[in-house]
Amino acid sequence: MSGEAKRTVAALPGEGVGEGMPAHVAIIMDGNGRWAARRGLPRFEGHRRGVEAIRRAVRTAGDLGIRYLTLYSFSAENWRRPAQEVSDLMGLLKRFVRHDLADLHAGNVRVRIIGAREGLAPDIRPLLDEAEQLTQGNTGLTLVIAFNYGGRQEIVRAVQALARKVREGGLDPEAIDAAALEAHLDTAGIPDPDLVIRTSGEQRVSNFLTWQTAYSEFVFIPDFWPDFDEATFRAALDEYFKRERRFGGLSARAV
């Protein structure tokens, strides 16, 4: 990057877009419960404040010209949490769709949902479908919500779909390659993340975008998710700008 392009994101105006801005940022939103516990508050309050952080992240991504923002909202393993907490999370999801969908639509944001939908409660799946259908024609930021999502489970579903095509005679096994598998993932048509951010100081991917993050850059930050704001987002992007992505090749300096 040129000296001019190395300006920090923090120095960019809200509507500015720096050279090399990642097209796709994915975030593992972690630490709601610990944020609440440190303040002597119920876990629900941490989740509620986490929704406010989502709004800030979406606004910042749109302002900076990021094309795709993927948020890990509810994993396939989160069903193991206490029933009351799961119920609270479902309630927040319903409120978010009902209260924020109109604003997202007005802001030209397209919503896509990834994850398994089979077996979801009858009052949840229609909300997910509505969010996608209402915003499908929008051309601004694509907000990808990973709900009831697991990276390994996604790959299994893709392999099963390919296996059915082989069994039915519509696909030669020798024709199966990486592109064929990607076409059957939940994220078909979405570029792989350039940057993955995880909050709360944890340093693992937790079954998130297992296939898609093979060459992503990772930034782990100590802040709990409810404290994630525009400054934190921009600081993570500044760290990304320092990286030299080689995708298995040599750096320009080594050639």
Output the pLDDT for position 244: 82
The superfamily CATH assigns to domain 20-150+192-241 is: Decaprenyl diphosphate synthase-like (3.40.1180.10)
Which residues define the annotated binding site for Mg(2+)?
A: 30, 217
Which residues define the annotated binding site?
A: 30-35, 43, 47, 75-77, 79, 81, 198, 204-206, 217
Mean pLDDT, rounded, for 144-156: 97
Distance CA 82, CA 86 (A): 6
- Between strands 68-75 and 24-28, the pairing is parallel
Which residues define the annotated binding site for substrate?
A: 31-35, 43, 47, 75-77, 79, 81, 198, 204-206
In this structure, is the dihedral angle defined by the CA atoms of residues 93, 99, 105 and 108, taken in order, positive or negative?
A: negative
Q: What is the DSSP string of 114-178?
A: ES--TT--TTTHHHHHHHHHHHTT--S-EEEEEEEE-HHHHHHHHHHHHHHHHHTTSS-GGG--H
Catalytic residue among 78, 138, 192, 207: 78
DSSP state, residue 9: G
What's the mean pLDDT when you consider all of the chain? 90
CA end-to-end span of the chain = 16
What is the reported pTM?
0.89
138 flagged as catalytic: no
148 flagged as catalytic: no
Distance CA 110, CA 131 (A): 9
3-state DSSP percent of the chain in helix, strand and coil, to 5:
45, 15, 45
- Contact assessment for residue 49 and residue 93, using Cβ atoms and an 8 Å cutoff: no
Considering only 8-17, 25-34, 171-180, 235-244, which range has the smallest mean pLDDT?
Answer: 8-17
Res. 33: pLDDT tops 80: yes
Give domain limits for the chain. 20-150+192-241
The model's pLDDT over 166-217, given as tens digits with 9 standing for 90+, comes to 999 999 999 999 999 999 999 999 999 999 999 999 999 999 999 999 999 9
Res. 251: pLDDT tops 60: no
The model's pLDDT over 72-92, given as tens digits with 9 standing for 90+, comes to 999 999 999 999 999 999 998
- pLDDT tier, 9 (very low <50, low <70, confident <90, very high otherwise): low
